[in-house]
Chains A and B, each alone.
Chain A
Amino acid sequence: MATLANMTMNILELDNLTYSWPKRQQLSIDIEHFALQQGQKLFIKGPSGSGKSTLLNLLTGIIPANSGSSIKVLGQQLCEMSGARRDKFRADHIGYIFQQFNLIPYLSVIDNVLLPCRFSSSRADRVAADPKQQARKLLSKLKLSDMDILTPVSALSIGQQQRVAAARALIGSPELIIADEPSSALDHDTRSAFIELLMQECQSSGATLIFVSHDPSLESLFDRSVQLQDINLQGVTQ
């Protein structure tokens, strides 16, 4: 069955991934091998300075890795793509949630959610029938009321903002969702609720989730957990 084949496919494969910031000798990322299967929910933990941001910038193709590195996402080699193609690839296949301040203040909740569809035609195609309806559906699944949807984004609580951001990451069903400490600004109760909702939605859209945090208490919620220092041979960026 196709689904079975998909299950065993690696969505992410890193080989000999190295990165050093411009004008610096020392490597800040040095990962020999790492693979992640499609549909998995991965928890990456690491203290600040362990290279989390750098790794995420590499995975999303924002910065190019050193030569000789291999980053395969969905079987495609990011290291061979031009900057523009990496940007398009990111738009098409990756949903991203920031730690906080996720939303563009001058766009409405719906426009914020639909933003990825403006940069990716393939994600736009997947919601083509009625993008706004699709956005509303996602938002209501993430427990945002119709009232919340009409509120200016700056008037939403942080928890609500993060849920809007989750809806934005999920719209158009990208294969990979990357969340960079999205719950660190939330209090304990909201945090678990948020993560559960996020996981549910990843499950139902079949997306793989990479969740980065320094909070070890969340670890148990995930299929798989790695300590960044364990895979990154150059654990310290300072």
Chain B
Amino acid sequence: MKTIALLTWKSINNRRSSALLTVFTVAISMLLLLGVERIRTQAKDSFANTISNTDLIVGARSGEVNLLLYSVFRIGNATNNIDWQSYQKLAGQADVKWSIPISLGDSHRGFRVMGTNTDYFKFYQYGNRQALQFDSGQPFAQLFDTVIGADVARKLGYSVGSKIIIAHGISDKSFTRHDNLPFKVVGILAPTGTPVDKTVHLSLAAIEALHSGWNPAGNVGTSKNQHQPTFHPEQITAFMLGLKSKIKTFSVQRKINNYPTEPLTAIMPGVALHQLWSMMSIAEQALLAISGFVVVAGLLGMLSCLLTSLQERRREMAILRAMGARPGHIFALLVAEATLITAAGISLGVSFLYLLLAAIAPLINSRFGISIESASISTHELKLIVTVLLGGMLIGLIPAFRAYRQSLADGMTIRI
């Protein structure tokens, strides 16, 4: 055993450059496999953590995924609005514990603007039932107060007290920019890793004021305490509901879906998230399959390397046989080489992974809001690693078996 280990090591060391290349090939394929796997699982976690403890999301009648996308992820637009009366009626049901109305459709320098009320800061939860926290400041109280997400504050360099302009419409180049309506930042939320970080929150009344054509140019900025007309929302885009009892979810959902006054859709966020994720899972599976194939290619590279070396090593095998090596020793020698190369490739690949994660995690987090943690190897990843290692050993059986047969046939006849 010790002899085989020593011979394996010295023999690989002798073919250092080609062995190193093979190790690199395996390492890169391993890096890709584990990297894809890690991004996949973490993206999934991050994704599933976007909203928590909300029982139903209600919007104008549309597909579940569409409703989830615009209400939670701020992607796309609502097909229609909900009448304020309908909201009040539905949110006032006996089974409803809390409700959060939201109104979307405006933007501020590339960030979505969302109208809501202060219940949002009280009841909205993400991750593992974590409530929103204020990094600084407080919820909005005045008409032109605004609370911004962590990313908005960081990217645009805002702090509590900053004055900002809100545009109507999504595009920053919007012609209908309400640049005569300056808002004041009164609160900045702590980072959540969800789209909340990229949202500018206003009161519903402020949204209404934006769209009502009211021009306070002369008033705002001169005196804050001046009388302002009161704005009542007439329409909202969607609302979230928390129920007193989870058991009621289905009956409330049915009631909303059958609401006679206007066509509405109520979705359970968990179900819709799952649906959305399974839509993306084809791409995800394809990515995993590709990285799987890259690993196979890496191992095949090793196989060709070992097989090529075999021909020129027939002499070496004959010498070892003459010294008393059993055919089994020759077999073990090649399996050990394949195992060592694979193991070295895997270790190198894992080191690359952690180096890369350390390097790009901040970038990914700031770009996509997905937090990639440098967690230790998970059981699933360990399974992948063991699979690749076994694959390498299995592939090593091919040259090993060939060398075994050769050494039986050649005996001590040295063929060159």
Contact = CB atoms under 8 A, between A and B. Distances in A.
Interface of A: 53, 56-57, 60, 62-63, 83-84, 87-88, 90-92, 96, 98-107, 111, 115-116, 118-120, 168, 180
A63 B327 CA distance: 12
A207 to B, nearest CB: 16
B207 to A, nearest CB: 77
Given A53-B413, A60-B412, A106-B14, A91 B319 contact: no
B382 interface: no
Given A56-B412, A62-B412, A99-B414, A104 B316 contact: yes
Nearest to A93: B324
B319 A119 contact: no
Contacts of B280: none
B360 to A, nearest CB: 40
Nearest to A115: B323
A119 B315 contact: no
Contacts of A87: 321, 324-326
B306 to A, nearest CB: 15
Given A56-B412, A57-B412, A101-B414, A119 B323 contact: yes
A101 B322 CA distance: 13
Contacts of B3: 118-119
B326 A83 contact: yes
A120 B324 contact: yes
A101 B416 contact: yes
Given A60-B322, A118-B323, A180-B412, 11 more contacts: A62-B321, A62-B411, A62-B412, A83-B326, A98-B319, A98-B412, A99-B414, A101-B416, A116-B323, A116-B324, A119-B323
Contacts of B10: 106-107, 111
B11 interface: yes
Nearest to B413: A53
B95 to A, nearest CB: 78
Nearest to B319: A104
B28 to A, nearest CB: 27
B13 interface: yes
22 contacts: A53-B411, A57-B411, A57-B413, A62-B321, A90-B322, A91-B324, A91-B325, A98-B318, A98-B319, A99-B414, A101-B315, A101-B319, A102-B319, A103-B319, A104-B316, A106-B14, A106-B15, A111-B10, A116-B324, A118-B2, A118-B323, A119-B3
B416 A98 contact: no
B13 A106 contact: yes
A120 B11 CA distance: 21
Interface of B: 2-3, 6, 10-11, 13-15, 315-316, 318-329, 411-414, 416
A101 B327 CA distance: 20
Which among B10, B11, B322, B411 has the highest number of chain A CB atoms within 10 Å?
Answer: B322
A99 B318 CA distance: 12
Contacts of B414: 98-101
A92 B6 CA distance: 20
Given A84-B326, A115-B323, A116-B323, A106 B413 contact: no
B167 to A, nearest CB: 72
Contacts of B14: 105-106
A91 B412 contact: no
A42 B210 CA distance: 112
Contacts of A119: 3, 323-325, 329
Contacts of B2: 118
Nearest to A103: B319
A102 B413 CA distance: 12
A188 to B, nearest CB: 23
B322 A96 contact: yes
A197 B11 CA distance: 31
Contact of A106 (B11, B324, B329, B412): B11
A180 B322 CA distance: 12
Nearest to B3: A118
Contacts of B326: 83-84, 87
B347 to A, nearest CB: 23
Contacts of A88: 324
| 3 closest A-B pairs by CB | A91-B324, A106-B14, A119-B324
B324 A105 contact: no
Contacts of A116: 323-324
A116 B11 CA distance: 17
Contacts of A104: 316, 319-320
Nearest to A85: B326
A84 B320 CA distance: 14
A168 B413 CA distance: 18
A228 B3 CA distance: 37
A63 B413 CA distance: 11
Which among A92, A98, A116 has the highest number of chain B CB atoms within 10 Å?
Answer: A98
A107 B316 CA distance: 11
A105 B412 contact: no
B308 to A, nearest CB: 16
A199 B316 CA distance: 26
B412 to A, nearest CB: 6
B336 to A, nearest CB: 14
Contacts of B327: 83
A101 B14 CA distance: 17
